[in-house]
Amino acid sequence: MRLWQQGLLHASRWAVKAAREGITVPIPRRILARLAERADDPSLADLRLAVRDGAILEVTGRKKAGVWVDFRARFRVEAPAAGDPPRALVLRPEEVQPFLAKGPMLAALGQQAGARRDGDRVRIDLDEVLQGHEWRKKVPDALRERLRIGGVESADGQLKLRLQISAGRQRLAEE
């Protein structure tokens, strides 16, 4: 019995630490690949995504401008701002070469399920993107509603989210 109590004590300490500091969860590469596959703009072709250090998402492909022109766009991936849903990623363009690809690229990303273009940025609501996925079913609704993205990192070609648990829905509205 005593060992069982000690196990609960260690588990509760881990839970408190995870709630206070957050946990890091990698974004599967297939979800990022799906972003490129679903871009529905006839003036864009051969889209490929790569994750770079510094939470940078690099998109390469071709843009039709009379003739097909190669382009490269670098987006900074950020945690949601105060007015954004707590489980959203914000893509902010840092560099787009040639510049004429910027508008169609933002429009194509903004038209995807769960995404919304807001001026020069695209917000991707992960609740909508993960709707119906097996991963979503493994997290209880009560816990999922309290999760928020506290930060975004990248290493070894992989995006990682730092998830934090809020005290409740009211606290999310205040933050």
What would the 3-class secondary structure string for 104-128 be?
A: HHHHHHHCCCCEEEECCEEEEEHHH
Position 148 pLDDT exceeds 90 = no
Q: What confidence category does residue 74 fall into, taking pLDDT thresholds of 50, 70 and 90?
A: very high
170: left (phi over 0), alpha (psi -120 to 50) or beta: alpha
pTM, whole model, 2 decimals?
0.74
Sign of CA dihedral 82, 88, 93, 99: negative
Position 167 pLDDT exceeds 60 = yes
16: left (phi over 0), alpha (psi -120 to 50) or beta: alpha
Position 10 pLDDT exceeds 60 = no
Q: Which helix (H) or strand (E) holds 9?
A: helix 2-21
pLDDT in tens, 82-108: 888 888 889 899 988 888 778 887 888
